Amino acid sequence: MNIWNPGYSKFTYFWGKNDGPFSQWVTSYFVIDNIEYCTAEQYMMAQKAILFQDEDQLLAIMKETDPRKQKELGKQVSNFVKSEWDSVARNVVYKGNYAKYTQNPKMLESLMKTSETLLVEASPYDRIWGIGIDATAARAGKPWKGTNWLGEVLTKLRENLEMK
């Protein structure tokens, strides 16, 4: 899924739970296929466990409410194949965030207020889902060291919801 839109000249930077609802770690109850998730991170890691048929990790992820621990459990999924996960991960995150935002009106309102900006996960620690530098460095014009997959997914989600 290539969803980068180079036409954006304005950015909405976020990272962590204190920058609005955009983080995967923000508590945001939603239901997909009659299963309730407490965070988008939990949904993402559960789908990883399902994809690689690791029922033990799936059960542990679903019992865990702390997103940091959910992520750690997701890193322990057996039979993990990075290329296979990378080919579906953005679609998984899109589906989870679609449910998160459409089932939580205040979060949806915050997402829609970012109109005409590219959402950017300004995590200095994540070069896949984030940009690999913090918001201060990004605003100062430092080059991104990451791919911003989460920001791209959220931007595409917002664009699709704007068309409805």
Residue 5 lies in a domain: no
Q: What is the DSSP string of 58-99?
A: HHHHHH---HHHHHHHHHT-TT--HHHHHHHHHHHHHHHHHH
Q: What is the pLDDT of residue 2?
A: 36
Whole-prediction pTM: 0.93
SS3 state at 122: coil
Count of structural domains within the chain: 1
Look over the chain and give the mean of its residue pLDDT values, rounded to a whole number.
94
What is the average pLDDT across 126-146?
94
Residue 125 lies in a domain: yes
- What is the rounded CA–CA span in Å between residue 134 and residue 18? 14
- What is the rounded CA–CA span in Å between residue 114 and residue 16? 17
Are 93 and 40 in contact by the 8 Å Cβ rule? The answer is yes
In degrees, rounded to 5, the angle at the alpha carbon of residue 80 between the alpha carbons of residues 124 and 74 is 55
List Cα–Cα distances, 46 to 35, 56, 64, 102, 130, in angstroms.
11, 11, 11, 20, 20
Q: What is the pLDDT of residue 6?
A: 56
Q: Which two tokens stand for residue 159?
A: 């664009």
What is the average pLDDT across 118-146?
95
Q: Which two tokens stand for residue 23?
A: 């983080």
Task: Summarize pLDDT for 40-80 with one digit per residue, the tens.
Answer: 999 999 999 999 999 999 999 999 999 999 999 999 999 99
Task: Give the structural domain span for 16.
Answer: 11-162
The CATH number that applies at residue 110 is 1.10.357.40
Residue 61 lies in a domain: yes
List Cα–Cα distances, 132 to 87, 92, 120, 142, in angstroms.
21, 22, 11, 11
List, in order, residues 6 or more apart from 35 with CB less than 8 Å away.
Answer: 62
Residue 6 lies in a domain: no
Residue 23 lies in a domain: yes
Q: Which two tokens stand for residue 121?
A: 């996960």
Residue 83 lies in a domain: yes
More confident site: 49 or 16: 49
Residue 3 lies in a domain: no
